Structure 1
Amino acid sequence: MHREKRSREFYILAIFFALFVLFLYGPMSAILILAFQGPNGGLTFPLNGVSVHWFVNLFEKQAVGDFGGSFRRSLFLGLMVMVVTVLVSLLAGLAFRRKFIGATPLFYLSVASLVVPSIIISLGIGVLFSQLGLQPAWYSSGFGAHLTWTLPFGVLIMFAVFNRFSPAYEEAARDLGASSWQTFYHVVLPMIAPSLVGVGLFGFSLSYDEFARTLMTSGTYNTLPLEIYGMTTNVTTPVLYALGAVTTFFSFLVISVTIGSIMLINRRRMRA
């Protein structure tokens, strides 16, 4: 009787999980399939032939939209945000271990932007730049707006990492004559390296697909999310689906590289 009950629960959970996966990836699957429409295909089913015509067309000059330029801007912006997020989060994690004066107010201030609606932050930064007589741009005001989104996540992750980091390893290194820098470089950094890779992934991915905080701060040139939004109102060919397929593949590629890096770091640490 007990085994039958567990079996019933298993099937219920399996059905629920299958529905969840279908709800999550169903629309994405439709986009991936429609991206392979024939040259005369439209935006809806059924497929009118199968080809890679729209993928080729995507990298040609478009009457509406600038996929190449917007992708490069989002890529560079994501890399900039990733580097700064990792560095600042690491330094913040090390600093907060010292329990300095004003640590608590500073902590709540650093995560306050998670509570404020993203569009309000975007509007505020855009207005501030206008009042200062500065031209908003993706590499200046957009960069700052993205950091208000990624830094709190990075700081919270590093707090969690250092809260369960035993100081015994550092004490042992100092007892063996290591300096503070040597202790950090040879002991602390290798142990927290997988977490730093995770923070970098958070920083890049959150910046790469951020829309609301970029809306009022990107200036003249769009990032990829803004370009895709603009194309949805103007493009009437499956090239839009090809763009969605390419950007999805790129996102999975970044995640795969990150997971591979973490596994490689853990393997080297275990061998050491």
Structure 2
Amino acid sequence: MSASRRPPAFYGLAAVFALFVLFLYGPMFVIFVLSLQGPEGGLTFPMRGFSFHWFGKLWEGMGVVDIAAAFRRSVALGAVVMVLTVLLSLGAGLAFRRRLNGAGALFYTSVASLIMPSIVVSLGIGLQFRLVDTGLQALLTQWGLDGLLEGYGTAMGLYTSALGAHLTWTLPFGLLIMLAVFNRFNPAYEEAARDLGATPWQGFRHVVLPLVAPSLVGVGMFGFTLSWDEIARTSQAIGDVNTLPLELQGLTSTVTTPAIYALGTVTTLVSFVVMGATWALVTWLGRKR
């Protein structure tokens, strides 16, 4: 009987783990709960009623801020980042399987942005595009095309500077995942395909790609979720429009109703939906494989 009892250290470690989970997910749970208050609800406990009133207010709009447009911009940018992260990470992983001159320097250069402060990366990208603006304006003036300057604002935008800023965050993660995948990849499968007469493209399409597809789905999830939540790298490189996280950050100082919690709940649920869809797709690919 005494041999089956758990040691005292087990309960101490279990308590530490429970506190860790509470610290990690407690704030999110609190926001979920407070977003369900009634019309007279405030930003703190105790709750005043239970309803979906503030989600309705969120749907109607929040003053001068167009939440729906910011939501669409974030989804569109996240989708583009996801696709580019998957394609570039796959290409880089395939390239690193071969002997490359300067492969070490290339690898460390690719992942260096992970150790750079995000705000510094954003400032640097914003400065680069301001220099591009200055150069284009000087060039158009020199060529006598002053009429084009009237409609020219800035080269910074959602799919230029902001896209580049997000890729500096997502690509290193994608590259690290694909390097780990291909380091464990058995080349015997490709050799067997070649022995059966497959061309390099057929071997990639019918052998390599199906085997690494679940990992590519994971890379895509990383690309979208990291882009969806990013603030610091976007703040100085977005141009004239804002993504949803930037709008949410700005609203924290002006909105004094639980509508801000409803917005936070919606953005978090989108992330959960993406992760759930990723899990389902990986499971389906695993069974198919």
- TM score, norm. by length of structure 2: 0.90
2:43 partner amino acid? L
- For residues 3-31 of structure 1, the C-alpha deviation after alignment (integer angstroms, 9 at most, x for no partner) is 44x44333223222211111111111111
Q: Which amino acid aligns with 1:87?
A: L
Post-superposition shift, 1:64?
A: 4.2
Q: Which runs of 5+ in 2 are unaligned?
A: 134-153
- Counterpart of 1:72, as a letter, is R
Q: Residue in 2 aligned with 1:201?
A: 221
Match of 1:223 among 243, 258, 272: 243
Three-state SS of the structure 2 residue aligned to 1:23 is helix
| AA in 1 matched with 2:106 | L
Paired residue for 2:136? none
Counting matched residue pairs gives 268
Deviation digits for residues 129-156 of structure 1, max 9, x if unmatched? 1111143212210000000111111011
Secondary structure of residue in 2 paired with 1:132: helix
Within 5 Å, give how 1:1-272 maps onto structure 2: 3-4=4-5, 6-133=6-133, 134-269=154-289
Following superposition, the deviation at residue 96 of structure 1 comes to 0.9
Contact 2:61 2:67 in 1 (8 A): no
Matches of 2:261 and 2:39, distance apart in 1: 13
Gaps of 5+ in 1: none
Q: Distance in 2 between matches of 1:171 and 1:135?
A: 48
**Aligned partners of 1:164, 1:21: CA distance in 2, in Å?**
32
CA distance in structure 1 between the partners assigned to 2:177 and 2:28 by the alignment: 29
- What's the secondary structure of 1:259's corresponding residue? helix
Structure 2 letter corresponding to 1:113? S
**Which of the two has higher C-alpha Rg?**
2
Distance, in Å, in 2 between the alignment partners of 1:113 and 1:249 is: 28
8 Å CA contact retained: 1:64, 1:234: no
Query: Secondary structure, in 3 states, of the residue corresponding to 2:241?
Result: coil
Runs of 4+ in structure 1 off by over 6 angstroms are none
2:267 maps to amino acid: T
Q: Distance in 1 between matches of 2:61 and 2:245?
A: 19
Q: Distance in 2 between matches of 1:268 and 1:7?
A: 44
Range with bigger deviation, 204-213 or 59-68: 59-68
**Percent identity (aligned):** 61
Instruction: Say if 1:85 and 1:147, in contact at 8 Å, map to a contact too.
Output: yes
AA in 2 matched with 1:78: G
1:213 counterpart letter in structure 2: R
- Distance in 1 (alpha carbons) for counterparts of 2:214 and 2:236: 34
Distance 1:192 1:61 in 2: 43
Write the letter of the residue equivalent to 1:49.
G
Deviations 1:173-214 (A, max 9, x none): 101111111111111111100000000011111111011100
Aligned Cα root-mean-square deviation (Å): 1.2
Q: SS of 2:60's equivalent? A: coil
